[in-house]
Amino acid sequence: EMISYYDISGCYILRPWSYKIWELIQEWFNVQIRKLDVENAYFPLFVSQDRLEKEKDHVEGFAPEVAWVTKSGEDDLAAPIAIRPTSETIMYPAFSDWIRSHRDLPLKLNQWSNVVRWEFKDPTPFLRTREFLWQEGHTAHASFDDANVMVRKALDLYRRVYEELLAIPVVPGYKTEKEKFAGGHSTTTVEAYIPVSGRAIQGATSHHLGQNFGKMFDINYQDEKGETQTAWQTSWGLTTRTIGVMIMVHGDDTGLVLPPRVAPLQCVIVPITSKSCPIEKLAPYCGSILESLQEKDIRVKLDDRLIYNPGWKYAHWEQKGVPIRIEVGPRDLEKRGARLVVRFGGEKVDVGVDGLADAVAAKLDEVQKGMFENAVKFRNDHLVKVTEWKDFVPNLELHNLVLTPWCGGEHQDWEEWVKDKSREESLANAGLEGEADTTATSVAAKTLCIPFDQPDLPEGTKCIASGMPATCWVMWGRSY
């Protein structure tokens, strides 16, 4: 009950269970960005062709994915109007109007919206969709360094969304020149690992746009000396892809396994009735447990539906990933207790009613911590260093992320060489001749990031591809 399919390929209905997860992320994120003096706003969905095409590199990066409105009723529009693939070219003309003086800086805005990117690759719910929800932050600053601080603060919020809310470890780092945001100065990213497939996935990105967009859209201001300067800008975004990543990292054969901090329901109370103990007898006791949990701000539901038996309810809520099930039967009523059944790991604990709310709160924290530690261990077990090409593809085949010495993020030609060579060797190993252009899960490796946290690089180490002196470690993987 996370999504329903729609009659337009690549578009999906987010049902309440998944949308609540997005709302919980929104609520947390709004609190955090307000601490950074970022304000929420909303800009139009449409952008004119002239504006969209004003920044050459930017539009070339998005051109294949732009959806256009060309008709109104039966009549052709005088000029086609694009549906936003991102909002730089929508927001920055307004920035130009609003920013006149150094006193107007920094300007920090965020919007929660939908965007449309008409992907031609095979769509995948949550991961690769033609319409998705996101937040996009856009800021303007008086200096490169101030903008850079904003970039890193935004990226750290994304790290915290994944690690503190979703219980998913990520690797923060820089994108290479080949993979950076079109038209930007540099891109930072958090990269996650999906155990079941051995693939990486980009979690969220934060871009330093430099002054490129400022020059294109005349975002100029008078500094303290009365001289005209161009603003330095950032943009950063997080999407509903987060939900898909969470599902794949933590889910099992039974269904969802939800981290407590983003679970729409953190626990569900299931009465177990009998002829001698009907629901009328259990209801007041279950109601008191419900109230005690609500007083602790625990998201809880009493499932007292009579049309389903307890076994059906157990399976239903396990499939939906509710972290804790509270079973209450005749013996529990007699002993003034209840049984806690934990979705992650299957632990069962009998608890007295007087300390039940505190026990549930503590168990939720324990589950959140355990899920993160479990994901960290699995990711670390599949993160390896490779210094010779002969070991590169075999490690991809083992579902590993691969750290290699690299000659620098600017060497796009060698990056393309690795992508092509790894695809060629992987297909040969599998006895295949090629793969479809529309595949969203290529066997080729791509650079994920140049991690901020760099291992030691001994002097004289060579790049795994070019043989030139290595200047950094770069992380590779097969990616979604």
What DSSP line would sit under 207-256, residue for residue?
EEEETHHHHHTT-EEE-TTS-EEEPEEEEEEEETHHHHHHHHHH-BTTB-
CA dist 297 to 26, 106, 266, 267, 361, Å?
Answer: 18, 37, 10, 12, 9
Predicted confidence at residue 54, as pLDDT, reads 79
CA dist 137 to 61, 123, 232, 392, Å?
Answer: 19, 26, 14, 37
Predicted confidence at residue 264, as pLDDT, reads 98
Is 287 strand, coil or helix?
helix
Contact 478, 430 (CB under 8 A): no
User: How many helices (DSSP H) and strands (DSSP E) are in the chain?
Assistant: 13, 23
What DSSP line would sit under 30-59, residue for residue?
HHHHHHTT-EE----SEEEHHHHTSSHHHH
Is 5 strand, coil or helix?
strand
Beta carbons within 8 Å of 222's beta carbon, 6+ residues apart: 100, 101, 102, 228, 229
- Alpha carbons 190 and 203: distance in angstroms, whole number: 5
- Alpha carbons 165 and 61: distance in angstroms, whole number: 32
Predicted confidence at residue 56, as pLDDT, reads 67
Nearest to 96 by CA among 47, 140, 137: 140
Amino acid at 66: V
Sign of CA dihedral 387, 392, 397, 403: positive
Contact 249, 168 (CB under 8 A): yes
Which residues are registered as beta bridge partners of 69?
81
Contact 392, 156 (CB under 8 A): no
Q: What is the pLDDT along the chain (480 residues), one digit of tens a residue?
A: 999 999 999 999 999 999 999 999 999 999 999 999 999 999 999 999 988 887 666 667 778 889 999 999 999 999 999 999 999 999 999 999 999 999 999 999 999 999 999 876 788 999 989 999 999 999 999 999 999 999 999 999 999 999 999 999 999 999 999 999 988 999 999 999 999 999 999 999 999 999 999 999 999 999 999 999 999 999 999 999 999 999 999 999 999 999 999 999 999 999 999 999 999 999 999 999 999 999 999 999 999 999 999 999 999 999 999 999 999 999 999 999 999 999 999 999 999 999 999 999 999 999 999 999 999 999 999 999 999 999 999 999 999 999 999 998 889 999 999 999 999 999 999 898 888 776 767 899 999 999 999 999 999 999 999 999 999 999 999 999
Nearest to 374 by CA among 240, 212, 249: 249
Contact 130, 221 (CB under 8 A): no
Predicted confidence at residue 55, as pLDDT, reads 65
pTM: 0.95
Six token digits for residue 91: 């927001």
Amino acid at 51: R
Predicted confidence at residue 198, as pLDDT, reads 95
Give the relative orientation of helices 279-295 and 356-381 as an angle to the nearest 10 degrees.
70
Six token digits for residue 193: 């690992």
- Alpha carbons 242 and 387: distance in angstroms, whole number: 32
